């Protein structure tokens, strides 16, 4: 086994025992990146000098007898939506070309403090808006399983990097499925934590009430390791929750006997590719074999998830993205301008891509006087109904199961001209963000020689339960061990 | 898409929409006040609020609105608004929210301002005013919390700079119902509000320094029919006097337009006060209300001040200047003017009361000394009463020495100056410098005899019944004793000897 083929957990064991050094691990990753990045195009920026310095620091700690955390020396890739001090953070947008934040996101700082060398910044849909990573202003990332297909999005760079062995763990952000859907399409594991579980400080906002940072990794155990670093209250994020953080790795007991799982009818029916559905049904059968009780549940309000999301998310985005005006940082038009409003208009017209402009217009419309009640307020009310559907379902069920994505990865350019089809790619993941609950995607089979993802949803702050379920599945199967050939 | 709160182009009103408005109409005025809260740190970050720092030095990712930054509310600012609510008889919400007010402007770092919209922190209060002997109650609609913007600086070269030190400083917005009917009431309201905000220590409320800004909305209404002229908002008012003048001007302008049937001058608009010309000038017509696309701030959880905390703040609300002024009149038997001056600052009023407690004499005497000599010493030194080197115990002692005829009032003025300079007590100074008043008849007798001998002319005048001359002789005795003689006794003894 090559070093880049190991899981973070296996790397951690070898680093702790002294079998390999952090510098060797980091070097191995950069070698791997050098050989396959050209094909996959997962990274926007590589930070080899920073990573090597961090790795050597970790080796010094260990040489000095210190016992840093289990992930010390395990490299990490960072989605370009997270602020990295002094390192370009573009959000895949021309608007932030060359922008170097003066501070680290809390999640980035936590990774640094844990001794995780930063490999680089990964590609994404512009401002995290999209489900194929084709909306990046810089490059198109390819699915390592089939280079003509998309890796999913918006955290497509992070997912492709992990799938291609270019990072053991990557951070992503998930507003409507942007961690889980690319994880599913790239055949890896990805967790969207409960809203408030992980700090959003330094996460460039798309939709503040939905955004959450989480890990993408080869398996659930690695996600749990990462969550031990990421989770917890942050004084710089007023929406971060003051809820105890369990040891997520210790929670992976392999025992799921007697747990009750629900399968929402609304997320298994129309719109789900039949072959994907068959694969999911087989996975559900596996859970029954592991001793879980399975039954279908009805959650009628889930049918409204997409329209609700496409009111709330663009509304918050229109406001969050207002700050990009060319006055303080980022892109500024070089055209002649008549006044400051002309400067704003030209700068924003040039700096934002079409999907971002579309969502800003949608959101502005939804918030405008005379439309607010009919759109934004109504969407918030339906959002409450969706939450209530989840509350009811979780009264009798410990977890809910469904496909992560209705289809396997589609071809590059295939849906580029069909915005609705593109948005349907997140149809199974969006309800989770609206409800603020945690959900995990794990690989559970192949269709068309492409990975299929299973989504496991849980009660608020019960990441440990859904990861225990996912880990039990991975103990019994080896879909998560399959690797694309590059 | 690019901000909706822009000036709209003025549109002519079609003639058919013009209506003839009947006289007489009464002014209906509402006031919106922004007061800067004097917290140490900003509203949503820990940057300093200190005035006069190097431009763009009191800034961080949050108040610069950098990508990824988040707001965390300042608890002290919340407390100050609740305290204001308590002082203005408002109710404090058990739960309220911050909202985003969206508009594009370069001094607004995020291109939205975190404010409060339909759920203010405190609401539905009132303030009672005494305007020229008439009692007026003004209802307070709300007092809420928001962040200040930065500042644009336009250079002569045509380019502009933006300064963000002010960005994120906590502001409180206090909105009244349109209950004012005269400019005098507006003036009294702002005067009282300023006193209150200072008294409860939440703002220095200085309009000249920009720590308090007021925007009146003025129109005329026929109270019977409810018919009203369109509302006019006035901006650019930098003093209470300016508010008074602008409101007076605006009432007259609208009245004249109504009386002379010039309805084309009556439309919803924003006007600017031109201080030099003493007129309001049209800034922009408001065809529709501005659309700020308010929505609940998703980066903040709802604000739910703990009931015990709110109760504590309400319970600790100090006696307010107006009540205290009334009490000073009745309890200390002070003239209204004295009570007004003494209650202008909480510290001064406290000082007065503390001195009275320690001095067994008339409160008016305390007031005279405080408002006279003490204040002028403080003003000369450019300090306030709480920084005075003379404690209220020390002042009380000085007053006792006067009252007990140990020193004369004239000597006391010098003693006070020495106390102020050195911080020594009155008794010490009097003792060391031998300033005690000579009330010993034996000691005075020889000096008086001397003066009688040296001034035969005036002595004759006194004997001839010219009472005026006795003053001259007393003065001579005072001179010979360096002012230490008890003038009352000198006067009596002289009369005895010469009649
Ligand atoms: Zn700041």
10-residue mean pLDDT series, chain B (499 residues): 36 44 80 97 96 93 98 98 98 97 95 97 97 95 97 89 95 98 97 95 92 96 89 94 97 93 90 95 84 96 97 95 94 94 92 95 94 94 93 94 85 92 90 76 82 87 83 86 81 83
- What does the angle CA B428 – CA B432 – CA B435 come to, to the nearest 5 degrees? 95
CA distances from A203 to A82, A101, A128, A245, A320 (A): 5, 11, 11, 21, 12
Beta strand B269-274 with B232-235 is parallel
Q: Give me the pLDDT at residue B492, please.
A: 85
Q: Most B CBs within 10 Å: which of A105, A210, A234, A323, as the mutation test of the B interface?
A: A323
Instruction: Give the Cα separation of A237 and A227 in Å (integer).
Output: 17
**Measured in angstroms, how far is the CA atom of residue B46 from the centroid of ligand 1?**
6
Contact state of A329 with B66 under an 8 Å Cβ cutoff: yes
Hey, is B142 helix, strand or coil?
Answer: strand
Whether B72 sits inside 8 A of A236 (CB atoms) is yes
CB pair distance less than 8 Å for B68 and A323? no
Tell me which residues of chain B have a C-beta less than 8 Å from any C-beta of chain A. Answer: 1-4, 6, 61, 64-73, 100, 102, 104, 106, 109-112, 160, 162, 289, 291, 293-295, 298-301
Query: What is the interface size between A and B, counted as CB pairs within 8 Å?
Result: 113
How far is B364 from chain A, CA to nearest CA, in Å? 55
CA distance A428 to A269: 11
pLDDT at B2: 35
> Which residue spans within A249-397 are E strands per DSSP?
260-264, 293-297
* Average pLDDT rounded to a whole number, residues A316-333: 96
Distance (Å) from the C-alpha of residue B52 to the closest C-alpha of chain A?
22
Q: A351 alpha carbon to ligand 1 midpoint, in Å?
A: 26
Backbone φ and ψ for B77, nearest 5 degrees, come out as -65, -40
Task: Report pLDDT for A241.
Answer: 97
Quick check: A361 and B102 CB within 8 A? no
* pLDDT above 90 coverage of chain A, percent: 97
Q: Has A79 been annotated as catalytic?
A: yes
Q: Which helix (H) or strand (E) holds A399?
A: strand A399-403
CA of B42 to the centre of ligand 1 (A): 7
Expressed in angstroms and rounded, the spacing between residue B41 Cα and the centre of ligand 1 is 8
At which residue do the structure tokens 């004084």 appear? Answer: A235
pLDDT higher than 60, residue A158: yes
Distance from the Cα of A376 to chain B's closest Cα (Å) equals: 9
Residue A14 CA to ligand 1 center (angstroms) comes to 44
Cβ neighbours of B72 in A, within 8 Å: 235-238
Of A91, A316, A368, the CB nearest to B298: A316
**Integer CA distances (angstroms), B190 to B33, B212, B368, in order:** 9, 10, 27
Q: pLDDT higher for B492 or A293?
A: A293
Residues of chain B with C-beta less than 8 angstroms from the C-beta of A344: 2-3, 104
DSSP string, B287-332: SS------EE-TTSPPB---HHHHHHHHHTPPPPHHHHHHHHHHHS
pLDDT of residue A100 exceeding 60: yes
A79, A94, A121, A346: which is the annotated catalytic residue? Answer: A79
The answer to whether the Cβ–Cβ distance between B293 and A89 falls below 8 Å is no
Pick the CATH number of B441-498 from 1.10.10.410, 3.90.1170.50, 1.10.260.40, 3.40.190.10: 1.10.10.410
A461: left (phi > 0), else alpha (psi -120 to 50), else beta? Answer: left
Mean per-residue pLDDT of chain A: 97
What was the pLDDT predicted at B21? 52
The nearest alpha carbon in chain B to A210 belongs to B298
Residues in contact with B404: Cβ distance below 8 Å, sequence separation at least 6, in sequence order:
none
Catalytic residue among A12, A136, A154, A155: A154
- Ligand 1 centre distance from Cα of residue B45 (Å): 5
ipTM reported for the complex, 2 dp = 0.96
Chain B residues in contact with A325 by the CB 8 A cut-off are 104, 106, 111
With vertex at residue A64, the alpha carbon angle to CA A61 and CA A70, rounded to the nearest 5 degrees, is: 40
| Residue A404 pLDDT > 70 | yes
pLDDT, average across residues A54-82: 96
CA B54 – ligand 1 centroid, Å: 14
Ligand 1 center to B433 CA (angstroms): 57
Kindly list the residues from chain A whose CB atom is less than 8 angstroms away from the CB atom of residue B106.
325, 327, 340
Distance (Å) from CA A86 to ligand 1 centroid: 19
- The residue among B116, B60, B303, B80 whose CA lies nearest residue A238 is B303
H-state helical runs in B115-274: 183-199, 240-259
Q: Which uninterrupted H or E stretch holds A383?
A: helix A378-396
A208 and B299 within 8 Å at the Cβ level: the answer is: yes
pLDDT tens, position by position, A246-257: 999 999 999 999
Alpha helix segments (H runs only) across A18-47:
22-40
**pLDDT in the model for residue A416:** 84
Structure tokens that stand for B201 in this block: 């220590």
The verdict on a CB contact (< 8 Å) between A105 and B291 is no
The full set of domain ranges for chain B reads: 15-296, 319-432, 441-498
> Domains of chain A by range and CATH?
3-259+398-481 (3.90.1300.10)
d(CA B278, CA A268): 73
Distance of alpha carbon A79 from alpha carbon A159, whole angstroms: 10
Supply the pTM of this predicted model.
0.88
Distance from CA of B104 to the nearest CA of A (A): 8
At B22 the pLDDT is 53
- Cβ of A323 within 8 Å of Cβ of B72? The answer is no
Nearest to A83 among B6, B67, B102 (CB): B67
CA terminus-to-terminus distance, chain A = 16
| Ligand 1 geometric centre to CA of B113 (Å) | 14
Among A204, A239, A364, whose Cβ lies nearest the Cβ of B299? A239
Query: Which residue in chain B has the smallest CA separation from A323?
Result: B110
Question: Which residue does chain B place closest to A324, by CA atoms?
Answer: B110
Question: Is A201 in contact with B68 (Cβ distance < 8 A)?
Answer: yes
CB A361 to CB B1 under 8 A?
yes
Q: How close, in Å, is residue B197 to chain A by CA atoms?
A: 29
Q: In B, which residues are within 8 Å of A348 by CB distance?
A: 1-2
Query: Active site residue: A21, A132, A136, A178, which one?
Result: A178
Contact yes or no for A19/A82 (Cβ under 8 A) = no
**Integer Rg of chain A from CA:** 21
Q: Which pLDDT belongs to residue B23?
A: 55
Q: Which residues on chain A are in Cβ contact (under 8 Å) with B66?
A: 83, 101-103, 328-329
- The answer to whether A117 and A52 are in contact (CB under 8 A) is yes
Burial class (CB in 10 A: 0-12, 13-18, 19+), B308: exposed
In chain A, the residue whose alpha carbon lies closest to the alpha carbon of B60 is: A102
Query: Checking DSSP bridges between strand B26-36 and strand B170-176, what pairing results, if any?
Result: antiparallel
Question: In the prediction, which pLDDT does B436 show?
Answer: 77
Give A318's contacts in chain B (Cβ within 8 Å): 102, 293
Q: Which residues on A lie below 8 Å from B160 (Cβ)?
A: 340
Cis peptide before B299 (omega within 30 of 0): no
Interface test with A, best of B108, B293, B294, B296 (most A CBs within 10 A): B293
């Amino acid at each position: 086994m090559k070093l880049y083929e190991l899981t973070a957990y296996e790397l951690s064991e070898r680093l702790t025992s002294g079998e390999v050094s952090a510098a060797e691990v980091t070097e191995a990753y950069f070698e791997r990146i050098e050989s396959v990045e050209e094909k996959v195009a997962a990274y926007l920026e590589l930070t080899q000098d920073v990573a090597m310095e961090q790795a050597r620091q970790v080796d010094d700690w260990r040489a000095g007898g210190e016992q840093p955390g289990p992930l010390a020396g395990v490299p990490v890739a960072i989605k370009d939506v997270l602020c990295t001090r002094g390192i370009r953070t573009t959000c895949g947008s021309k608007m932030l070309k060359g922008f170097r934040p003066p501070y680290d996101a809390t999640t980035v700082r936590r990774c640094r403090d844990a001794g995780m060398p930063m490999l680089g910044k990964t590609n994404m849909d512009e401002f995290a808006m999209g489900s194929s990573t084709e909306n990046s202003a810089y490059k198109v990332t390819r699915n390592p399983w089939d280079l003509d297909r998309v890796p999913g999005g918006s955290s497509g760079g992070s997912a492709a990097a992990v799938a291609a062995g270019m990072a053991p763990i990557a951070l992503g952000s998930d507003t409507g499925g942007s961690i889980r859907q690319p994880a599913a399409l790239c055949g890896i594991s990805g967790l969207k934590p409960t809203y408030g579980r992980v700090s959003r400080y330094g996460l460039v906002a798309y939709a503040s009430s939905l955004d959450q940072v989480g890990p993408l990794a080869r398996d659930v155990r690695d996600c749990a390791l990462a969550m031990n670093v990421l989770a917890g209250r942050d004084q710089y994020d007023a929406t971060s929750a003051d809820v105890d953080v369990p040891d997520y790795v210790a929670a992976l007991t392999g025992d799921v006997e007697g747990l009750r799982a629900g399968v929402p009818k609304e997320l298994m029916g129309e719109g789900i590719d039949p072959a994907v559905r068959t694969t999911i049904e087989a996975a559900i059968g596996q859970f029954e074999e592991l001793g879980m009780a399975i039954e279908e549940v009805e959650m009628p309000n889930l049918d409204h998830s997409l329209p609700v999301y496409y009111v709330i998310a663009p509304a918050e985005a229109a406001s969050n993205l207002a700050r990009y005006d060319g006055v303080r940082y980022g892109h500024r038009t070089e055209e002649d301008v008549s006044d400051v409003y002309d400067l704003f208009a030209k700068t924003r017209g040039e700096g934002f891509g079409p999907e971002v402009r579309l969502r800003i217009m949608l959101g502005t419309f939804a918030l405008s006087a005379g439309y607010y009640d009919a759109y934004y307020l109504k969407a918030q009310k339906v959002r409450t109904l969706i939450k209530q559907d989840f509350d009811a379902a979780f009264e009798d069920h410990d977890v809910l199961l469904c496909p992560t994505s209705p289809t396997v990865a589609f071809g590059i350019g295939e849906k580029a001209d069909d915005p609705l089809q593109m948005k349907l790619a997140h149809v199974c993941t969006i309800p989770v963000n609206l409800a603020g609950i945690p959900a995990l995607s794990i690989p559970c089979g192949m269709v068309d020689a492409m990975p299929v993802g299973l989504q496991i949803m849980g009660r608020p702050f019960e990441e440990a339960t859904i990861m225990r379920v996912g880990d039990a599945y991975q103990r019994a199967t080896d879909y998560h061990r399959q690797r694309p050939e590059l | 898409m690019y901000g909706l709160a822009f000036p709209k182009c003025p549109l002519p009103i079609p003639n058919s929409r013009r209506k003839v408005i009947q006289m007489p109409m009464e002014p209906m005025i509402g006031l919106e006040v922004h007061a800067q809260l004097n917290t140490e740190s900003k509203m949503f970050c820990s940057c300093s609020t200190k005035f006069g720092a190097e431009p763009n030095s009191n800034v961080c990712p949050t108040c610069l609105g950098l990508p990824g930054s988040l707001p965390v509310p300042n608890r002290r600012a919340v407390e100050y608004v609740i305290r204001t609510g308590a002082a203005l008889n408002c109710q404090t919400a058990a739960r309220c929210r911050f909202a985003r007010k969206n508009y594009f402007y370069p001094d607004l770092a995020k291109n939205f301002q975190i404010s409060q919209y339909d759920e203010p922190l405190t609401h539905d209060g009132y303030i009672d005013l005494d305007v020229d002997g008439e009692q007026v109650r003004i209802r307070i609609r709300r007092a809420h919390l928001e962040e200040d913007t930065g500042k644009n600086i336009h250079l002569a070269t045509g380019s502009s700079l933006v300064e963000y030190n002010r960005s994120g400083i906590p502001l409180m917005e206090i909105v009244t119902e349109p209950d004012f009917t005269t400019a005098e009431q507006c003036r009294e309201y702002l005067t009282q509000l300023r006193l209150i905000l200072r008294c409860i220590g939440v703002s220095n409320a200085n309009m000249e320094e920009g720590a308090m800004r007021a925007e009146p909305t003025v129109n005329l209404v026929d109270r019977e029919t409810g018919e009203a002229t369109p509302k006019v908002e006035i901006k650019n008012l930098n003093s209470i006097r300016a508010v008074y003048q602008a409101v007076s001007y605006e009432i007259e302008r609208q009245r004249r337009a109504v009386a002379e049937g010039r309805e084309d001058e009556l439309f919803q608009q924003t006007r600017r006060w031109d201080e030099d010309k003493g007129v309001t000038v049209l800034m922009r017509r408001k065809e529709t209300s501005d659309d700020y696309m308010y929505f609940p701030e998703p980066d903040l959880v709802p604000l739910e001040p703990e009931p015990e905390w709110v109760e504590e703040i309400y319970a600790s609300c100090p006696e307010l200047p107006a009540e205290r002024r009334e009490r000073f009149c009745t309890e200390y038997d002070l003239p209204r003017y004295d009570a007004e001056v003494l209650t202008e600052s909480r510290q001064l009023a406290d000082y007065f009361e503390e001195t009275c407690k320690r001095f067994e004499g008339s409160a008016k005497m305390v007031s005279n000394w405080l408002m006279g000599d003490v204040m002028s010493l403080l003003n000369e030194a450019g300090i306030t009463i709480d920084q005075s080197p003379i404690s209220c115990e020390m002042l009380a002692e000085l007053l006792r020495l006067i009252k007990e005829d140990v020193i004369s009032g004239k000597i006391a003025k010098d003693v006070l100056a020495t106390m102020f300079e050195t911080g020594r007590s009155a008794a010490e100074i009097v003792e060391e410098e031998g300033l005690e008043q000579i009330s010993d008849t034996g000691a005075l007798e020889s000096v008086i005899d001397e003066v009688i001998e040296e001034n035969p002319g005036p002595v004759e005048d006194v004997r001839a019944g010219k009472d005026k001359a006795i003053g001259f002789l007393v003065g001579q005795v005072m001179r010979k004793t360096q002012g230490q003689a008890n003038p009352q006794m000198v006067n009596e003894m002289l009369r005895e000897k010469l009649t």
